[in-house]
């Protein structure tokens, strides 16, 4: 990893960092010189994965720390951010300012028609996908540098409907409204706020048997290849999905100074899904 890059000297907080897109964001941003505070929900698996990601960044010459917190709990999250930043360090006796926040954590269920969604599924989606992102901004706002960037990871479900996932669509659309409002409120501090809208991404959120069966109900035991065929038919470009790293390139651009005059925007990384 180069010690000089587009994010050299900047600090980025990433939620949902223990795998999938979150891990890719951490590694890409660190590869451009950013100091990373990686956050995720506490469990034996996520704790081990966060430690591994941070150790890899440090071994490559970067700067990183990790903490666990439930983004639904503002007190817990705020304490994790403050403590993690103190470990990263911003000079003698002080924590660094935060130059970018990537609100990436999310959950995805496909429970069926909106009127059949049970309370637990509905509330979990809104609590994690929407309130969690809101809390991520609240927890980091006291630490934000003027000119910082907030990147809220939404979905193509934040731009169009999806049958069978009304709770997810509602939460991801709401992120757009939140981001647009934050862009207005934080503009006097030159803080930009944008949303990124991935389509299908090659992570366990999409690559699992439940989604395969939903995509190919005509097959008894659909495979990844069967699902890929169905997904590719939805996109303009001849691919079934994008890679996490493809989304990370857009996150990198929006997090850094190259996007200094871009705010209140929605950027889709979806192989043309929302255009098809």
Residues carrying an active site annotation: 168
* Among 188, 187, 10, 220, CA closest to 99: 10
Is the separation of the CB atoms in 17 and 263 below 8 Å?
no
Cβ contact 195:158 at 8 Å: yes
Q: Which residues contact 91 (CB under 8 A, 6 or more apart)?
A: none
Give 173-198 as a DSSP string: HHHHHHHHHHHHHHGGGT-EEEEEEE
- What is the total residue count of the chain? 276
> Which residues are CB-neighbours of 118 under 8 A, at least 6 positions away?
111
CB atoms within 10 A of CB 118: 11
Q: Measure CA 216 to chain center.
A: 28
Residues paired with residue 40 on neighbouring β-strands, in sequence order: 68
The residues pairing with 11 across neighbouring beta strands, listed in sequence order, are 35
- Angle 274-195-187 from CA coordinates, rounded to 5°: 140
Contacts 24+ apart (CB under 8 A), 207-210: 210/110
């Amino acid at each position: 990893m180069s010690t000089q890059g587009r994010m050299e000297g900047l600090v980025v907080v990433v939620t949902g960092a223990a795998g999938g897109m979150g891990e890719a964001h951490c590694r890409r941003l660190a590869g451009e010189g950013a100091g990373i505070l990686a956050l995720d929900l506490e469990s034996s698996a996520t704790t081990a994965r966060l430690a591994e990601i941070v150790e890899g960044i440090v071994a490559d010459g970067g700067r990183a720390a990790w903490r666990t917190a439930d983004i639904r709990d503002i007190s817990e999250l705020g304490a994790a951010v403050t403590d993690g930043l103190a470990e990263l360090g911003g000079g003698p006796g002080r924590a660094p300012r935060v130059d970018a926040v990537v609100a990436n954590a999310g959950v995805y269920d496909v429970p069926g028609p909106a009127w059949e969604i049970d309370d637990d599924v509905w509330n979990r989606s809104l609590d994690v996908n929407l309130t969690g992102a809101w809390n991520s901004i609240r927890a980091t706002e006291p630490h934000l540098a003027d000119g910082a960037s907030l990147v809220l990871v939404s979905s193509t479900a934040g731009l169009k409907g999806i049958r069978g996932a009304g709770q997810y669509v509602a939460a991801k659309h709401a992120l757009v409204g939140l981001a647009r409002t934050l862009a207005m409120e934080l503009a006097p501090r030159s803080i930009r706020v944008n949303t990124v809208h991935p389509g299908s991404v090659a992570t366990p959120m999409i690559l699992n048997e439940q989604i395969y069966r939903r995509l190919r109900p005509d097959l008894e035991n659909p495979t990844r290849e069967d699902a890929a065929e169905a997904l590719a038919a939805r996109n303009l470009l001849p691919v079934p999905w994008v890679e996490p790293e493809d989304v990370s390139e857009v996150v990198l651009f929006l997090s850094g100074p190259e996007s200094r005059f871009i705010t209140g925007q929605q950027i889709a990384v979806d192989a043309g899904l929302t255009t098809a």
